[in-house]
């Protein structure tokens, strides 16, 4: 390139974006691995390798604790013709759980549908247990995406990393000390 043709390439980081990077760095989270500015956005990489894109108006704590609002959510749907009645419901505003106290074909049940964190948060399962104990006179059905492998021998053939071991231990402890586990078929056949 001739000397008279010089180019200056600048990726301008605005004051607002620098403040966002500082807020991310100074947050109370132990998940931070790195934060950077690229292509007009601020990114954060967690210890688990997950990348999050932040906007200057984002609530950092909410995004870190609950992720992207489009990334979570559970639902419970009943097909027409089922004989059921919902007596009480607990619904998480962040889409992590729905707990229904219901009667299905004359059987009183507590249906607990979960969407667990991708990170190792055993306290989430303690919180769910506490919420379900108010319905202790019913049978329980727990289902959903817990983000924890329940049976390592059956479901981890191709898995390299042991993800969320503390959550798995907490779930095993809860199952062992709190519930009698019965197959769903046996529960509904009574």
Shared-domain flag, residues 89 and 40: no
pLDDT in tens, 105-157: 889 999 999 988 888 889 999 999 889 888 878 888 888 888 887 666 666 55
Shared-domain flag, residues 144 and 62: no
**Residue 100: CATH number of its domain:** 3.60.10.10
Secondary element (H or E) of residue 139: strand 139-145
DSSP-based three-state secondary structure for 19: helix
* Rg value, the chain, Cα: 23
* For range 168-174, the mean pLDDT: 85
The residue segments making up the domain with residue 64 are 15-70
pLDDT in tens, 82-95: 888 999 999 988 78
Shared-domain flag, residues 92 and 61: no
- On the question of pLDDT at 180 being above 60, the answer is no
Residue 146 placed within a domain: yes
Percent of the chain past pLDDT 90, that is, above it, reads 12
- On the question of pLDDT at 1 being above 50, the answer is no
Q: What is the pLDDT of residue 102?
A: 92
What number of helices (H) and strands (E) belong to the chain?
6, 7
DSSP-based three-state secondary structure for 160: coil
Q: What is the pLDDT of residue 88?
A: 92
Q: What is the pLDDT of residue 87?
A: 93
Give the residue with greater pLDDT, 72 vs 37: 37
Q: What is the pLDDT of residue 155?
A: 60
Q: What is the pLDDT of residue 30?
A: 65
Cα three-residue angle 137-142-145, rounded to 5 degrees: 160
Q: What is the pLDDT of residue 98?
A: 92
Q: What is the pLDDT of residue 151?
A: 67
- On the question of pLDDT at 12 being above 70, the answer is no
Number of domains in the chain: 2
Shared-domain flag, residues 91 and 124: yes
């Amino acid at each position: 390139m001739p000397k008279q043709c010089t180019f200056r390439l600048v990726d301008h980081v605005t004051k607002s974006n620098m403040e966002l990077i500082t807020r991310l760095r100074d947050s109370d989270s132990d998940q931070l691995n790195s934060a950077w500015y690229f292509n007009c956005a601020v990114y954060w990489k967690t210890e688990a390798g997950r990348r999050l894109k932040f906007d200057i108006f984002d609530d950092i704590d909410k995004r870190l604790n609950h992720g992207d609002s489009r990334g979570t959510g559970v639902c419970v749907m009943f097909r027409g013709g089922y004989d059921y009645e919902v007596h009480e419901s607990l619904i998480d505003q962040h889409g992590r759980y729905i707990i229904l106290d219901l009667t299905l074909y004359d059987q009183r049940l507590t249906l607990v549908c979960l969407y667990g964190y991708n990170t190792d948060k055993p306290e989430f399962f303690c919180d769910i247990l506490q919420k379900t104990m108010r319905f202790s006179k019913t049978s329980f059905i727990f289902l959903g995406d817990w983000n924890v492998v329940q049976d390592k021998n059956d479901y981890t053939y191709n898995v390299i990393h042991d993800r969320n071991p503390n959550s798995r231990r907490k779930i095993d402890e809860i199952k062992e000390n709190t519930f009698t586990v019965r197959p769903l078929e046996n529960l509904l056949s009574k």
